[in-house]
Amino acid sequence: MLKINIDYNLEDTVYRQIYNQIVEQIASSNIHPGDKIPSSREMAGVLNINFHTVNKAYQLLRENGIIELSKNKRYIISKKNKTGDAVDDFKKRETDIINEAMVKGLNSDDIIKTVKNILNLKGGG
Amino acid sequence: MLKINIDYNLEDTVYRQIYNQIVEQIASSNIHPGDKIPSSREMAGVLNINFHTVNKAYQLLRENGIIELSKNKRYIISKKNKTGDAVDDFKKRETDIINEAMVKGLNSDDIIKTVKNILNLKGGG
DNA sequence: ACACCTGTTATATATGTTATATAACAGTTT
DNA sequence: AAACTGTTATATAACATATATAACAGGTGT
């Protein structure tokens, strides 16, 4: 079941943590396209936060095509479909963090290895 | 010379754009370790923004060890030295954006290719 | 010595974001 | 009908962003 951990010590906002962790669980095949996610009120109750905060995470997931409304007013995980926007967005964000990593002393090998390591943990998990 | 473009249409804050673009120019060997960067007031004047906004970008660069104060009170680009924090930080941010890319339909090949592409543009530039 | 530059600190203000707290509404499920 | 869903609307408090001044210590160049 979809388990979210909120850490108020992190710099990330609460709705961003919810967003990233739902994405993570889809990426890890913990939840799958078509699956329902908890209602914003239910999730908020479990996490002991306001349902608007959960709502904001859900709205952002919806804007990015990661979840969608089913006919019975429940959010479900969308099917994957690689859009140009998704590719462009990835490239842009990737460029920024690779730049920073290299400026901090990591080399191409470090970066490739780290990326492959992250991918292997998913593929081989 | 260090050229920064501020785009108020982007979601990124102004000081984050300054931060990322300075990092980008170091990564691209447009500026090098030891080089001075413009004073916050000078940069602010050119960009027509408040010098505190530039200052915030500089403070963040300094906290991350990317620039440092020279003896004559000028910020200069730091030498690269790969710290454990830098590696951990890269891995954490990388994981989040790879997760999202895969959920949006990119596969391992797409990701590796994009990363190699970004690295080649720098190495082969 | 002087004016001028540097980064830093302090205050104040305006605007936007984040998170909470209620309330209400239309539609679905049971 | 009762209980649930997402959505919209208001209000509030705390924080982040960006601007506007002002002042200070220290380095630079004349």
User: What average pLDDT does this structure show over B110-121?
Assistant: 95
User: What average pLDDT does this structure show over B73-96?
Assistant: 94
Do both B21 and B59 map to the same domain? yes
Do both A36 and A52 map to the same domain? yes
Closest protein residue to D17 (Cα–C1'): B13
Q: Residue A38 CA to nucleotide D4 C1', Å?
A: 12
Residues of chain A with pLDDT > 70: what percent?
98
Q: Å from B79 to nearest chain A CA? A: 9
pLDDT of residue B122: 77
What residue in B sits closest to A90 (Cα-Cα)?
B101
Are residues A82 and B122, on separate chains, in Cβ contact within 8 Å? no
> HSE of B5 in the Cβ direction (CA atoms, 13 Å)?
5
Domain boundary among B77, B97, B114: B77
Are residues B97 and A97, on separate chains, in Cβ contact within 8 Å? yes
Chain B residues whose CB is inside 8 A of the A35 CB are none
Q: For residue A108, what pLDDT band results from cuts at 50, 70 and 90?
A: very high
Q: Is B90 left (phi over 0), alpha (psi -120 to 50) or beta?
A: alpha
The token duo for B10 is 């982007």
Are residues B115 and A111, on separate chains, in Cβ contact within 8 Å? yes
Closest protein residue to D5 (Cα–C1'): A73
In one letter, which amino acid is B14?
Answer: V
Judged against a pLDDT cut of 80, whether residue B88 lies above it is answered with yes
pLDDT of residue A124: 62
Closest protein residue to C16 (Cα–C1'): B13
What is the average pLDDT value for chain B, to the nearest integer? 94
Q: What are phi and psi of A40, to 5 degrees?
A: -60, -35
B68 in a structural domain = yes
Q: Å from B35 to nearest chain A CA? A: 14
- CATH code, A73: 1.10.10.10
What is the average pLDDT value for chain A, to the nearest integer? 94
Judged against a pLDDT cut of 90, whether residue A82 lies above it is answered with no
Q: Token match 């009170």: residue? A: B73
Judged against a pLDDT cut of 90, whether residue B111 lies above it is answered with yes
Looking at the 3D structure of chain A, how many domains does it have?
2
Do both B32 and B53 map to the same domain? yes
Domain boundary among A77, A95, A113: A77
Residue B115, domain extent: 84-123
Do both B35 and B62 map to the same domain? yes
DSSP B51-103: HHHHHHHHHHHHHTTSEEE-TTS-EEEPPP---HHHHHHHHHHHHHHHHHHHH
Give ∠ CA B39-B40-B41 in degrees, rounded to 5.
Answer: 90
A7 in a structural domain = no
Do both A30 and A67 map to the same domain? yes
pLDDT of residue B121: 81
Do both B30 and B54 map to the same domain? yes
B99: Cβ contacts below 8 Å, ≥ 6 apart: A20, A23, A24, A26, A27
The alpha carbon of residue B123 and the mean position of all alpha carbons in its chain are separated, in whole angstroms, by 17
First to last CA, chain B: 18
Lowest mean pLDDT among B55-64, B77-86, B98-107: B77-86
B19 in a structural domain = yes
Closest residue to A80, CB basis, from B83, B104, B111: B104
Do both B61 and B112 map to the same domain? no
Chain A residues whose CB is inside 8 A of the B81 CB are 105
Q: Å from B65 to nearest chain A CA? A: 8
A103 within 8 A of B66, measured Cβ to Cβ? yes
By the 10 Å C-beta count (0-12 exposed, 13-18 middle, 19+ buried), B11 is classed as exposed
Do both B22 and B73 map to the same domain? yes
A47 in a structural domain = yes
Chain A residues whose CB is inside 8 A of the B96 CB are 20, 23-24
B30: Cβ contacts below 8 Å, ≥ 6 apart: B2
User: What average pLDDT does this structure show over A44-54?
Assistant: 97
Q: How far apart are CA B125 and CA B119, in angstroms?
A: 10
Q: What are phi and psi of A56, to 5 degrees?
A: -65, -40
B115 in a structural domain = yes
Do both B45 and B90 map to the same domain? no
User: What average pLDDT does this structure show over B76-88?
Assistant: 93
Judged against a pLDDT cut of 90, whether residue B71 lies above it is answered with no
Do both A23 and A73 map to the same domain? yes
Do both B59 and B98 map to the same domain? no
Judged against a pLDDT cut of 90, whether residue A110 lies above it is answered with yes
- DSSP character for A94? H
Do both B21 and B70 map to the same domain? yes
Q: For residue A102, what pLDDT band results from cuts at 50, 70 and 90?
A: very high
